[in-house]
Structure 1
């Protein structure tokens, strides 16, 4: 999975109608604006520290960052921008939107000065997993001219890499201050199940077909991520569904504002809002969790 995704992302822009999938920031500016508003509010309640940096993990084309930064600047925060991205093609796209960004290959390279406002939207789902069947790790083998799994049965998924990344991120927050918003599809509690999936040309595909030519992801185990963050001394919020979170933060009001400003786009704007929020679309499968430094305020919409 790691080898396939490393090649996949290094050799193409996978987003949009011409690519393989579309993420929330590419659907509407509302998504990034709400994220930016949540971070701006958290920063203000933390005392408006002047040396704060904006960090995004796996920032796609930079669309979310551009929308969030526009909101952050309206409240007086003009942070340095740090993007953790390894794809040269996506770095070029990000540079067209955020000319003053600095790029990093890994979290360990991030600045070690002031507080961090971090966004990880659909980042953890693409990190590699391991699957275990009846206590034995499931592997891929050559078979009949193709690839096949070496065993079937009830699957338990583990992701040491996700836990390592979260632990490092939490350490940075604990040492420097700040908050991270984790937005991804997955489950609130650890549970067995095979969630590995491949997407190509906006359709699901067999996960072992065309290695390196399709996006491989799996559902994020938010309970495991939270445990990793807590082990590093960070504070972790409850996990909430994306739809209710966006609604609590005012996406309905923002949709009305945009529709009033551009009446010809009213139907498009409402369709985007519904896609983000409805339970039968992205609203319930996608979850939101925040990780904060001790003493930092909880981002809005994540207290029950």
Structure 2
């Protein structure tokens, strides 16, 4: 039966995708991932024990509180200007709710702007942060004040292209369908000169991933920051590219699954290329700090002192944030050229 919140009277996403591929031919991985995640996030709460995965803000209040203090410190050293707080893909709104509490204690009470398309998640965000303003994309964000943007586990869910090395060159990976069985196949050959020369010697079967959607959003947000002032903090799991490897994965019920099964019923993600995001930001004129491991970042912000204040009950939460997630997850900041260096990156 359809998942809770699915539109009634419409075929499941898998059936719609199967029909489209049967009629029009295989589609790029990016198109498959975009359709699957759009449906997935629009129709459920994916977080927590009853969902498919848990993010850092849901593990402990310490995460959002420290990011709130990070923002308040940066705002204070920038001269306490009027700012707006922006979070794209804010989940349940937990991070912002915890950050607002910490910022308020430091004298910062910014208006909140969420970039979110999911009706189901907007309802939960409204309960956590009722004063928020919602946007469908970054084009309608405030254009007259500096922005503090926090993107936590946002870029990993944006669609990627996958390019596969064949015996005769690079080909884009496509998704084909037999009945409702989806499977990846190699598409037509890429034009000569498209791929960097450094990849000419890659072994057959090698996979390279790109995310034009991520670059576009990073460039858009960086342009706003360079024009208006402010900074952006990106926390996600990933690497500093270029790199070769297939990182597309699916999570369902807190376990890994086949990413080409049950589109729209599981979370699809890929590792974030921080080097490419940094280049997009720097092309807009912004300055970059990091990336550093999440563990080192939170430690520099004072998570040990906060954990000691909260007592033994948070010891396991601290371990998960600093040790379990500490190296795979990375933190990077970009800022207006006239804003001070943010904390956590020394």
Q: TM-score, normalised by structure 1?
A: 0.95
RMSD over aligned Cα, in angstroms? 1.0
Alignment of 1:65-84 (within 5 A): 65-84=96-115
Whole-angstrom CA distance in 2 between matches of 1:184 and 1:241: 10
The answer as to whether partners of 2:69 and 2:106 remain within 8 angstroms in 1 is no
Instruction: Report the equivalent of 1:249.
Output: 301
Matched, 1:287 2:330: yes
Matched with 2:263 is: 211
Select which of 187, 205, 211 maps to 1:159: 211
Q: Which of 39, 52, 61 is residue 7 of structure 1 equivalent to?
A: 39
Report whether the alignment pairs 1:20 with 2:55. no
CA contact (8 A) 1:121 1:184 kept: yes
2:225 matched to which residue of 1?
Answer: 173
SS of the residue 1:229 aligns to: helix
Q: How much does 1:238 deviate?
A: 2.1
Query: What are the ranges of 5 or more consecutive residues in structure 2 without an aligned counterpart?
Result: 1-32, 187-203
- What whole-Å deviation, never above 9, does each CA across 1:174-223 have from its counterpart, x for those lacking one? 01100110000000232010000000000000000100000000000000
Report the secondary structure of 1:150's partner residue: strand
Are the aligned partners of 1:245 and 1:302 in contact in 2 as well (CA < 8 Å)?
Answer: yes
Deviation at 1:144, TM superposition (A): 6.8
Partner of 1:262: none
For the pair shown, which has the larger CA radius of gyration, 1 or 2? 2
**1:41 equivalenced with 2:76 (yes/no):** no
Distance 1:270 1:145 in 2: 46
* Residue aligning to 2:319: 274
Is the 8 Å Cα contact of residues 198 and 206 (structure 1) preserved in structure 2? yes
In 1, the alpha carbon distance for the partners of 2:333 and 2:242 equals: 18
Residue equivalent to 2:155:
124
Hey, what's the Cα distance between the residues in 1 that align with 2:37 and 2:238?
19
Contact 1:290/1:298 (<8 A) preserved: no
> Offset at 1:302?
1.1
Q: Which moved more, 1:231-240 or 1:191-200?
A: 231-240
Structure 1's unaligned 5+ residue stretches are 260-265
Contact 1:62 1:98 in 2 (8 A): yes
Alignment correspondent of 1:296: 339
Query: 1: CA distance between counterparts of 2:66 and 2:245?
Result: 32
